[in-house]
Structure 1
Amino acid sequence: MMRPLRRELMFQLVETARLLRTYVDQRARQHGTTRAQWGVLSRLRRAEGLNQAALAEQMDLQPISLTRLVDRLEQQKLVERREDAADRRVRLLHLTPEGRELVEGLDTVRGEIAGEVLAGVDDAAIVMALETLGTIRDRTRPQRDERAQAARAAGRAA
């Protein structure tokens, strides 16, 4: 049986994540984008030239969901698809100069959000929170990876 304190922590984690996603969505909209699009732009800046399948897996998104996001970003001239010299069937994702400019501007917004939501929280508490969240993430990642592998295997068998 889960102890009440642990149940409360799980509730607070889920609720805080929901509220933070909503808050970041609102701030992203003020800059003409969405939290999801911001996430794609940020990932591409760190690892330009990914193909859509690799990016979808990194972001834990269904490939069709990522395709729609990339379609919108491409229409906005923030991302471009380029042919892969090694495999003409594959398209690699790259930021356009406009996309790079937007994501770099959003770094300031990320800093503002962190300053607002963590105001008054000391560094020791942040370090402890990071360690705790890292443990939780590590314990949930294998389950997510196993589900993804099972889904891929089921798709190949169909």
Structure 2
Amino acid sequence: MAPDLNWELRLGFLVHDVSRLRRRVVDRALKPLGVTRSQWWVLAFLSRSDGMSQVALADELDLGKVALGQLIDRLEKTGFVSRRPDEEDRRVKRIYLTKRSHALIAQIRDNVSVTEKEILERIDEADLKATVRALRGMKENLLTMTGDNEDVEDSDAA
């Protein structure tokens, strides 16, 4: 077998595969809560930055404004979020978590915590720390390359 000269490309596929499989496993863990991936992803982002504008949230989630608008409509109908006009610019809609969503977010965090422990079991702590350092370094480089001013600290979405 020929030596693998393209490990950088394989690293990209590996990171993508791990992310995709993690989402699938987390989806399964959250299914009993009756929440979809799109819904828990929105709630997770808002739990870190409640009151984001709908446009900023769409950018963060890499979703179109219309698709996010429909998702927010569904979350609003179920009582998990509310839309309010921005105090300075009434054209801007801000999205806020409701009291009802806080209980769900706590359940989501509990379920994800259990799932994360299962995902990480049998992996040496030193390896995990090195992986986190490497991924944070990659994230910092990517943010610099894209010109984003986002905080480099890893924020646990869910």
TM-score by length of 1: 0.80
Ranges in structure 1 where 5+ consecutive residues have no aligned partner: 147-158
Letter in 1 for 2:48: R
Q: Which residue of 2 aligns with 1:88?
A: 90
Q: Could you tell me how far 1:139 is from its partner in structure 2? A: 3.4
Q: Could you tell me how far 1:144 is from its partner in structure 2? A: 5.2
Letter in 2 for 1:28: L
Partner-residue secondary structure (3-state), 1:93:
strand
Whole-angstrom CA distance in 2 between matches of 1:144 and 1:68: 28
Q: Which residue of 1 aligns with 2:118?
A: 116
Partner-residue secondary structure (3-state), 1:16:
helix
Q: Could you tell me how far 1:79 is from its partner in structure 2? A: 0.4
Whole-angstrom CA distance in 1 between matches of 2:147 and 2:68: 18
More helix as a share of residues: 1
1:7-156 alignment, distance < 5 Å: 7-142=9-144
Q: Could you tell me how far 1:116 is from its partner in structure 2? A: 0.6
**Does the Cα contact within 8 Å between 2:29 and 2:112 map onto a contact in 1?**
no
**Does the Cα contact within 8 Å between 2:39 and 2:75 map onto a contact in 1?**
yes
Partner-residue secondary structure (3-state), 2:91:
strand
Change (3 A) 1:4 1:73: same
Aligned pairs, how many? Answer: 145
Which one scores higher on RCO, CA 8 angstroms, separation ≥ 6?
A: 2
Change (3 A) 1:51 1:17: same
TM-score by length of 2: 0.80
Once the two structures are superposed, what CA deviation does each residue of 1:25-58 show, in whole Å capped at 9, x if it has no partner?
2222221111221121122122211110111122
Whole-angstrom CA distance in 1 between matches of 2:21 and 2:48: 26
More displaced stretch, 132-141 vs 36-45: 132-141
Whole-angstrom CA distance in 2 between matches of 1:46 and 1:103: 11
**Does the Cα contact within 8 Å between 2:81 and 2:98 map onto a contact in 1?**
yes
Letter in 1 for 2:98: T
